[in-house]
Chains A and B, each alone.
Chain A
Amino acid sequence: MELHAAQFPFLSLLLLICIAGLALVLILPAKSNAAVKWVSAVCSGAALAVSVFLFAAYDRAAGGMQFVEQVEWIPSLGITYLNGIDGFGAPMLLLTGIVFFTGVLSMWELDYRVKEFFALFILLVTGVYGMFMALDLFFIFVWFDVSLLPMYLLIVIWGSSAREYGAMKLTLYLLFGSALILPGIIYLVSSSGLATFSIPELVQNARFSDFQQKIAFLLFYIGFGILAGVWPFHTWSPPGHVAAPTAVSMLHAGVLMKIGAFGILRVGMFLCPQGWIYWSPLMAALATIGIVYGVMVGLRQTDLKFVIGYSSVSHMGIVGLGFATMTVDGINGAVFQMFAHGIMTALFFSAVGHFYDRTHTREIGELGGLSRVMPAASGYFIIAALAGIGVPCLASFWAELLVFIGAFRSYPALAFISVSVLVVNALFMLRVVQKTCFGPVNERWANLGDMTFSMGFPRAVLAAAIVGFGLMPFLMYDVIQTAAVPLINGLSTLADQADADSVNTILSGLTSRLP
């Protein structure tokens, strides 16, 4: 892993922006709702700006870990404050920035315990940012938990249906995951004999036995996989999403589930390639079951948020399938899917949240004809739905395409099953769109107003990201590629499971011909 030191600590700056925003929100007097919202908006705007800058400034030609910053933290344990982003981290930072900013704006109408909400929200985002940039196992775990805990209070206090149950279930499941991750981390550090928690150093110098890698990878796969919604550990996710308030659902499905997938990638695959090779058939099988299960259960749902919740399970299954293929295409697609799904679900939840705020129902049967009453809001809902079924020229199309190209090479049968199920899902989603947005107007909603510009703005940002990266996928693809190729190359030198073919990618010819 190549490390390129940062000229300026941009990554820490990103964390500092969040921490400063958090401190400001905490200092403001309890009643100053407007000030709290403005501080949060400015904080999230600044964080978004830095994220975009980092994504754009990431040197695609050089690759490797960039913007690396390193400070000794607890020398006696070998813990360093080590941050850096590679082709996997950069898209995730961008995703976090976008969802953070739009999430804050989506909650602009909140008027119940505002200060506490935004304080917890910013704290959660700080953990997410930290997780995506940390390269030290200690900090990865710390940020991981920092991003999980505010969730409990966010759901229980500001949530809706069955929130106490949903929040407790979610927290216990996710903390059960971290109960597997921590032993895994300490196990690897202990058995390396190197007294360091730094991932680059462990990747370079540690020689883990096959057995150690298999054990540790399994711990990481289940531990992080719970958060990534891997079947059969996904059951916390739909009720959790449904119970959470809009911005929290957005952040949760949009970003937090990606932390799980990112953890599998960063900790599991980087440190235990042998474990990854060994367990990949299991990963592929569980991912496929997840895809099928998510779609099938989704078909029976009548609550819009449950529909999205279960579609998240199947979309995260696509990410898992991509990981399991052990091909560059698969990894590229999986990371692209993490980004695309994050933006897409954020838009989805944001649109549904708007419907719910106005109509106070999420039952598909009770809605109808909303496109005539709220054209803009329905428009965003439709874009999200189309992205969800992978319509070409939207970001998730490219992601799914890449994953399935990889999957047809490694697991043709599973890929075939998944694709055919996704066709069913597409029909179903179109039907949902038709029932909610078109058809006769339910007269109860006839005199509701459309969203104002300020409410529409965050949705427009999300929709622009979906369309933008759908039309110009190489912007994202080029970045991910810089990390995926070395990862798979390392794998093919390690074992013959991954043949030279797995490095060839379908898009390499395409992107090289672009200006």
Chain B
Amino acid sequence: MTDWTLFIPELYTLAAAGVFFILCMAGPDPRRDYAAALALSAAGLVLTVLSVGFEGLIFADVYRIDLYSQVFKVLVYSGFFLAVCLCSDLSGVDEARHGEFYLLLALSTLAMMLLVSSVHLLTIYIALELSSYSLYVLVYLRRGYEKGVESALKYFLTGAASSALMLFGFALVYGSGGSAYVADLMQSLPARINEPLVFAGFVLSLSGFFFKLAVFPFHLWAPDAYEGAPHQVSGYIATASKVAAIAVLMRFLAISGGHGEQIAWLLIALAIASMTAGNLAAVAQKDLKRLLAFSSVAHAGYVMIGILCLNPQGYTAAVFYALSLLVMKFTCFMIVVKASYGGRNININELAGLHYRAPVLALALLLALFGLAGIPPTIGFTAKLLVFKAAMDQGLLWLVIIAMFNVVISLYYYLLVLKAAYYTEPEVRAGAIAVAVPFKLLAAAMIFLMVAGGLYPAPVIGIAESMTAVLLPW
């Protein structure tokens, strides 16, 4: 008997998507759409927070609700709510399309909620595809941007190719494990994980998650998609989408059940490649959103260091890292949205004079950039410390040193952004950026989260520990 109360947040989100559907049929009215989106997403966030603590298996045991899934749903929903908060100036999207914009965003969020709870190969696949389809369209919704088609097409083709690989991998895993339930696979596969067929199937299955997370070599879509998409969508991809990908990747890798040494070596190689490729490419970027895209690739590498430990510490670190990415990347996109004119892309040196045009935003940007570079006392440092500690406990001193060298490389381009915001004088003295009071409060909240996460992360680490405890039963 399915307990439908466990499914309330998802049902609510589906209903919200229905409301947006009606709104787009009712004709364009950006202000009404924005107000509706804000109210619905805020209420949904509250509902999801209340659902933390629900436990159960529903729908013939393909859908698992536990602390792990519910906290990740809160994170995904926060990503949705925050992205909507940025939509007060949605000038990158045609006004007639605002209803559809919110509809797709809600559907993608729904799919990601399904994704973090899925414990069956088919549910995982369907949820993953569903979340990507909405994003393919969202990337294309940019108004008057000639490269939009290219971005969307690249995103779509890479996505289609990696999900084909993933489906093939699933077929092999199912064929060798005899079940599509993650729980059953955890029983039967670990002992056989190093057989060529199982290993190949397992690795191919990961490609879909790597695509979502933009891990090298599945990262090629990221710079174009970030650049071509409306700012809010780039922000959403950088936050909610990444969080969901981390969640499902950890759930899936747990199948290897303590026999994942071979897999771990593969993940180490990919982590190093992602960090290095992302950071080196980011150094050369002029467009702020492209820079953030490559920094996302690098961060995928850092997260992987935690995940590849395949132990509670490493998973705890990765959960914390997901939260920190959500906060820091959102803060960066907040500045992208506010500092750009009429939804146009923004170059790094166009940030000039930000320190007097919007002091609060400049401070938030400073903390977010230091956080992304992993410098204390910010949330990003705690995340990196946890990840590196987990890797070091596995004896991976050299990997940590490589990662730290990457941190120094990344600091270079973060400092360039910072220099533009704090030091470079604008050629034409621009006026102050109008930042409404609620927006200032939002920025202040982000500043608080970033500093508190660096100075006193103990409560969050505690939650992350109890979340991941259920994931690794051995």
Contacts and interface: CB of A to CB of B under 8 A. Distances in A.
Interface of A: 30, 73-77, 116, 138, 141-142, 145-146, 149, 152-153, 156-157, 164, 168, 171-172, 175-176, 179-180, 182-183, 186-187, 189-190, 215
B392 A149 contact: no
Chain B: interface secondary structure?
A: helix
Contacts of B408: 172, 175-176, 179
- Contact residues on B (Cβ < 8 Å of other chain), bracket: 20 to 34
A153 B423 contact: yes
Contact of A146 (B359, B377, B389, B404): B377
A1 B423 CA distance: 46
A180 B458 contact: no
B458 A156 contact: no
Given A172-B415, A179-B407, 15 more contacts: A74-B458, A76-B462, A116-B355, A142-B376, A145-B375, A153-B423, A156-B423, A164-B419, A175-B375, A175-B408, A183-B388, A183-B392, A186-B400, A187-B397, A187-B400
A76 B465 contact: yes
A142 B401 CA distance: 18
Contacts of A156: 419, 422-423
B461 A149 contact: no
12 contacts: A30-B359, A74-B457, A77-B386, A145-B376, A145-B381, A164-B419, A179-B401, A180-B404, A182-B385, A182-B400, A186-B388, A190-B389
Contacts, number: 86
A contact patch SS: helix
B422 A142 contact: no
Contacts of B404: 179-180, 182-183
Given A172-B408, A179-B408, A149 B388 contact: no
Given A179-B405, A183-B388, A172 B412 contact: yes
Contacts of A77: 386, 389, 461
B265 interface: no
Most buried by A among B376, B385, B415, B465: B376
Contacts of B412: 168, 172
Interface of B: 355, 359, 370, 375-377, 381, 385-386, 388-389, 392-393, 397, 400-401, 404-405, 407-408, 411-412, 415, 418-419, 422-423, 454, 456-458, 461-462, 465
A218 to B, nearest CB: 12
A504 to B, nearest CB: 40
Contacts of A153: 418, 422-423
Given A142-B376, A183-B401, A186-B400, A168 B415 contact: yes
Contact of A180 (B381, B401, B418, B422): B401
Contacts of A157: 422-423
Given A172-B408, A179-B407, A183-B404, A152 B392 contact: no
Contacts of A175: 375, 407-408, 411
A137 B200 CA distance: 43
A190 B393 contact: yes
A116 B388 CA distance: 34
A401 B411 CA distance: 41
A304 B412 CA distance: 30
A142 B454 CA distance: 9
Contacts of B419: 156, 164
A116 B355 CA distance: 10
B423 A142 contact: no
Given A172-B411, A182-B404, A186-B385, A149 B375 contact: yes
Contact of A142 (B359, B377, B411, B461): B377
B388 A76 contact: no
A152 B373 CA distance: 14
B386 to A, nearest CB: 8
A217 to B, nearest CB: 14
